[in-house]
Amino acid sequence: MQNGFTVAIDGPAAAGKGTISKAVAAHFGFAHLDTGLLYRAVGAKVLAGKDATEAAQTLIVEDLEDDSLRTSEVAQAASKVAVIADVRAALLDFQRSFAARLGGAVLDGRDIGTVICPEAAVKLFVTASAEVRAQRRFAELSGKGHADTFEQVLADVQARDARDADRVEAPMRPAQDAILIDTSELSIEQAVAEAITAVQAKRD
């Protein structure tokens, strides 16, 4: 077992990177961190009236376990606080410490391979068309009783894509040496298999 073997998985919302990351971590026995939850937790605190930078600086692991972090309102707040340089700086050490842990780690987010862990052993960029991702998110929200229309969800996805890709601090983009996995027409099983194959190739 290599100590500090890091897998960086980036990509836009609802592309499947979270599902793939959890599956890869489970397959190889690595720890997993959904870094988006860090920004969602900060966003939730901002919605509750707290200063964004202070919220980031005082974040604890328990803050990531709140079920309310998965709402679309918190997702939009997360995307807004993610453009704040002081927030990103406050969360940087948290993520890098996690990535360096013994036994291997999988981190998924939007700037893992480019900013957080540019020396990661494996970098994947998981994507899908905006329409496919909006349909997935719409189905997820509908199943939870949310009243958003497909058009609203698509608009949210496109707005978030633009904000994540155009921000000055750590814009979302594939690392130069990232392996691209487009899940638009892949089943979950196929996408996970591609990711596991890519990671295994780097471990052999």
Residue 4 pLDDT exceeds 80: no
Q: Which of 202, 181, 203 is nearest to 19 (CA)?
A: 181
**What is residue 97's predicted lDDT score, i.e. its pLDDT?**
87
Task: Express each pLDDT in 42-89 by its tens digit.
Answer: 999 999 999 999 999 999 888 988 888 988 899 889 989 988 999 989
Residues in the annotated binding site for ATP: 11-19
Spell out the alpha helix ranges (H) of 100-149.
130-143
Residues in the annotated binding site: 11-19
Q: What is the pTM of this model?
A: 0.85
Residue 147 pLDDT exceeds 80: no
Mean pLDDT of the chain: 92
Alpha-carbon span 143 to 133, nearest angstrom: 15
Laid out side by side, the sheet with 6-10 consists of 31-34, 105-109, 6-10, 122-127, 179-182
Task: Express each pLDDT in 80-117 by its tens digit.
Answer: 998 899 998 999 988 998 999 889 999 999 999 999 99
**What is residue 2's predicted lDDT score, i.e. its pLDDT?**
42
Grade residue 184 by pLDDT with cuts at 50, 70 and 90.
very high
Q: Reduced to 3 states, what is the DSSP secondary structure of residue 101?
A: coil
Task: Over range 21-33, report the average pLDDT.
Answer: 97
Domains and CATH numbers, the chain: 6-203 (3.40.50.300)
Q: What percent of the chain has pLDDT over 70?
A: 99
Both structure tokens of 71: 């709402």
Both structure tokens of 92: 């940087």
Place of tokens 């719409």: 138
